[in-house]
C-alpha cells in the first residue's frame, strides 16, 4: 500500500497566507459605518429651593463568589471573599419640589445599564432623578459590564448575577436613604495637600484639594460627601480578594468617627495616581485613608444658609466615532476601530448638579485635570466629577489627543470627545441654573 506524502509547510504557506489576508481584510472593513452628529438633547431636569432634608444609608455589596477581580488587563485573580467588605452608599436630598438621589458604588466603573435599572427602582421611591457614580476602585468585583472591550481590558467575563448584585445593592441603599429623610443643614469646606497626588502621563497634576460637604441633622451629621481626585489603585494587583481600596477604608473610618454615611466621589482624576508611601501593601492603603480623613477634618466648614438650591439636569451628548489610532499599531487601526465600535455607545450622559453653593458637572468617564478645567471654564462649575452614569474611558484635551500625549494613549475616542461632552455640559449647566 502506498501512502500519500505528507504535505510540506511550503505547500501550506499559500493557504495560511490567504487565510491571514482574508482575516485582515475582514477586520479592516469599515464595520463602524458613519456616526451621526447632532446637538445635545436635554434628558431631564429637576429644580427646587428651600429648607434641606436628607437621608443616607450604606448597604453591603455582596459579590456572587467566586468572582473575578476587576481593574486590570488579564490575567486577573479570582476572589472567593471580600476583605474589607464592599458597600453601596446613598444619599437622598430634598429641597422645595426637588427630590434626588446620589449613589456611590465601590466599583471600577458604572454602566449605563446599571444606572438605568437603578433609576427605574428610584421612581418607585418617589425620587425624581438619581446620579450613580463609581469610586473607581481597581480591586473590586467584575463581571457586570457586558461590553466586549470592557470585559477584555477591565471587568472580566460578563455575568448576569454580578450585574444584578450591583443593581440590588444600589437600589437597597437608595430605599433605606429615602425612608430616613430628616431636616438637615448644609456645611461646606475644603483643605489641600498636593503631596498626596501626582500626574502620571503629563499635563497638569491634581492639586490635592479635598472638598467636604456635611449634611448635619441637629448636632450629628447624617451624611458627608468628600470630593477628591486620585486613582484607587493601591491594592496589590494579584490579591485574590475583592477590596474597596482607600475609598472604602476612608468612608468606613469617617463613619466610625461619627461623620455619618460618607461618600467618596472622584474628581478630575484621569491622569492622577496616589503618591503616598507610608507602610507597604495594605498598610499603605490604610495609611492613605487615615491621612485623607485627617485632611477632611482640617477643612473649615461654613453653613450654606437655611434655604438651599437643589437641582439636577441631565443632557445626552452624541459621541464621535471611536478612534484606535493611539491604541494599536497603524496597520491594525481599522480592526481596532471596529473592536471599539462593537462596544462603544453612540450617546453618553452629562449631568449638572446644584447643591447650595456647589455647582458640579459630572461626566461618564475619567476626565484629566486639563479636561476638567476646560469643562469648568465652559460651564462655570465649581468642580467636575467623573465616573458617573456610564463609562466612555479617558477624556483628554484635543491638543494632547492630537499630540498623542497625556492620557490620550488610553482614550477610546478622537479629539472631538471633550467638545461633544462640553456642549452637553453647557446645556445641563444652564438648565440646572448655574450662576457662575
Mean pLDDT per segment of 10 residues, for the chain of length 436 residues? Answer: 52 51 50 84 97 98 97 93 96 97 98 98 97 97 95 95 98 98 97 87 84 94 96 89 96 97 89 57 89 95 95 97 85 81 91 98 95 97 97 95 90 94 98 93
Measure the CA–CA gap between 387 and 76, rounded to whole angstroms: 22
What pLDDT score was predicted for residue 261? 98
Kindly list the domain boundaries of the chain, sorted by start residue: 33-44+308-432, 48-303
Measure the CA–CA gap between 277 and 18, rounded to whole angstroms: 54
Note if the pTM is more than 0.85: yes
The enclosing H or E element of 60 equals strand 52-60
Measure the CA–CA gap between 169 and 406, rounded to whole angstroms: 35
The enclosing H or E element of 19 equals helix 9-28
Q: Is 423 exposed, middle or buried (0-12, 13-18, 19+ CB in 10 A)?
A: middle
What pLDDT score was predicted for residue 278? 58
Cβ pair 372, 362 in contact under 8 A: no
What pLDDT score was predicted for residue 272? 53
What pLDDT, in 10s, does the model give residues 364-404?
Answer: 999 999 999 999 999 999 999 999 999 999 999 999 999 99
Amino acid at each position: 500500500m502506498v501512502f500519500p506524502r505528507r504535505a510540506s509547510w511550503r505547500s501550506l504557506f499559500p493557504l495560511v497566507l490567504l487565510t491571514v489576508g482574508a482575516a485582515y481584510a475582514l477586520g479592516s472593513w469599515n464595520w463602524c459605518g458613519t456616526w451621526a452628529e447632532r446637538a445635545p438633547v436635554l434628558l431631564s431636569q429637576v429644580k427646587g429651593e428651600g429648607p434641606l432634608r436628607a437621608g443616607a444609608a450604606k448597604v453591603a455589596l455582596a459579590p456572587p463568589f467566586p468572582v473575578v477581580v476587576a481593574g486590570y488587563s488579564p490575567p486577573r485573580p479570582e476572589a472567593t471573599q471580600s476583605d474589607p467588605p464592599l458597600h453601596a452608599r446613598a444619599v437622598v436630598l430634598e429641597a422645595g419640589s426637588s427630590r434626588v438621589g446620589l449613589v456611590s458604588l465601590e466599583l471600577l466603573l458604572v454602566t449605563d445599564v446599571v444606572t438605568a435599572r437603578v433609576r427605574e427602582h428610584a421612581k418607585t421611591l418617589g425620587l425624581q432623578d438619581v446620579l450613580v457614580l463609581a469610586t473607581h476602585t481597581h480591586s473590586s468585583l467584575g463581571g457586570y459590564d457586558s461590553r466586549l472591550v470592557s470585559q477584555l481590558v477591565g471587568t472580566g467575563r460578563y455575568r448576569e448575577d454580578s450585574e444584578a448584585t450591583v443593581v440590588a445593592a444600589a437600589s437597597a441603599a437608595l430605599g433605606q436613604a429615602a425612608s430616613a429623610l430628616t431636616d438637615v443643614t448644609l456645611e461646606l469646606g475644603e483643605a489641600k495637600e498636593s503631596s498626596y497626588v501626582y500626574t502620571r502621563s503629563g499635563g497638569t497634576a491634581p492639586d490635592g484639594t479635598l472638598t467636604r460637604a456635611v449634611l448635619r441633622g441637629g448636632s450629628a451629621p447624617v451624611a458627608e460627601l468628600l470630593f477628591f481626585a486620585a486613582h484607587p489603585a493601591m491594592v496589590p494587583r494579584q490579591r485574590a480578594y475583592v477590596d474597596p481600596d482607600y475609598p472604602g477604608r476612608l468612608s468606613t473610618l469617617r463613619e466610625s468617627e461619627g461623620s455619618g454615611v460618607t461618600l467618596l466621589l472622584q474628581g478630575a482624576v484621569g491622569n492622577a495616581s496616589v503618591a503616598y508611601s507610608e507602610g507597604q501593601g495594605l498598610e499603605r492603603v490604610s495609611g492613605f485613608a487615615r491621612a485623607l480623613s485627617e485632611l477632611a477634618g482640617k477643612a473649615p466648614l461654613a453653613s450654606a444658609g437655611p434655604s438651599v438650591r437643589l437641582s439636577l439636569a441631565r443632557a445626552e451628548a452624541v459621541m464621535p466615532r471611536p478612534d484606535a489610532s493611539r491604541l494599536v499599531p497603524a496597520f491594525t487601526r481599522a480592526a481596532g476601530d471596529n473592536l471599539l465600535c462593537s462596544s462603544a455607545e453612540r450617546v453618553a450622559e452629562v449631568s449638572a448638579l446644584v447643591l447650595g453653593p456647589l455647582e458640579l458637572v459630572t461626566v461618564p468617564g475619567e476626565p484629566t485635570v486639563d479636561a476638567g478645567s476646560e469643562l469648568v471654564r465652559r460651564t462655570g462649575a465649581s468642580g467636575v466629577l467623573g465616573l458617573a452614569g456610564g463609562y466612555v474611558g479617558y477624556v483628554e484635551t484635543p491638543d494632547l489627543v492630537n499630540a498623542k500625549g497625556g492620557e490620550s494613549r488610553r482614550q477610546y475616542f478622537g479629539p472631538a470627545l471633550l467638545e461633544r461632552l462640553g456642549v452637553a455640559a453647557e446645556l445641563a449647566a444652564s438648565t440646572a441654573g448655574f450662576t457662575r
